[in-house]
Amino acid sequence: MLTKRIIPCLDIKDGRTVKGINFIDLRDAGDPVELAEIYAKSGADELVFLDISATEEKRKTLANLVRRVAEKVNIPFTVGGGISSVEDVDILLKNGADKVSVNSSAVKNPDLINKLAAKFGSQCITVAIDAKQINDEWMVHLVGGKVPTDLNLFQWAKEVENRGAGEILFTSMNNDGTKAGFANEALAVLSSTLNIPIIASGGAGNMQHFTDAFLEGKADAALAASVFHFKEIEIKDLKEELLRNGVEVRL
């Protein structure tokens, strides 16, 4: 059985790690290089580094910061934010990223997924999907959740898989930052209809929420930010609790 992954997420704005609630009300959470090094040493399986304002501000992800983070970690490391071309990905991988995450640019130009998968391999390509449940339907949103689309989460996720993405990072905007648990019903639908790994994001507040994401949502990995950044949950303690609950993880 494949082990489930625990992934701290570093949302970056102006060179600092930040965390908000429902994608707004951001507060400072520390230096991303220091946090990355701490997580790598404390048992995180991977890291995700998202320059959350890159798309909105029409600039590229901070490649030099990526390089500094990559120099400090020995675990897989995904980078996203403002990626819209093969050239962008090439720069990030050369600066130390193991994988890249595309979101808004993939919706606007779905062929980008095909091109990236063909050039770098599906294992390097994560497609992030931010979705909000509106009147019982999950709708995809862009630009850090600010721009609604008419895309259905599950239909878009299937298209993403068919185009060559290696995994999907699904963030529930309804749950993000609320610490009320992950969107397990939506996760379970994704997990049952797709053949690529699903990373759960949005809503982690306690250890039980992670257990539920794996056992009820059938997620392959669970991503969180504030509970790790502000030391509400230690990764080692979380993994021991998951093992007690029958979830296979790497200690």
Q: Which residues form the catalytic set? A: 11, 130
Helix (H, G, I), strand (E, B) or coil at 221: strand
Q: Are strands 198-201 and 125-134 parallel, antiparallel or unpaired?
A: unpaired
Q: What is the CA radius of gyration of the chain?
A: 16
| Cβ contact 74:98 at 8 Å | no
What is the longest distance spanned by two Cα atoms in the chain? 45
- What does the block give as tokens for 141? 């949103």
Residue with tokens 């294992």: 123
Q: Are strands 16-21 and 77-80 parallel, antiparallel or unpaired?
A: unpaired
d(CA 105, CA 75): 26
d(CA 115, CA 195): 20
Please give the span between the terminal C-alpha atoms of the chain, in angstroms, as a whole number: 15
HEC readout, 10-25: EEEECCEEEEEECCEE
| Cβ contact 66:51 at 8 Å | no
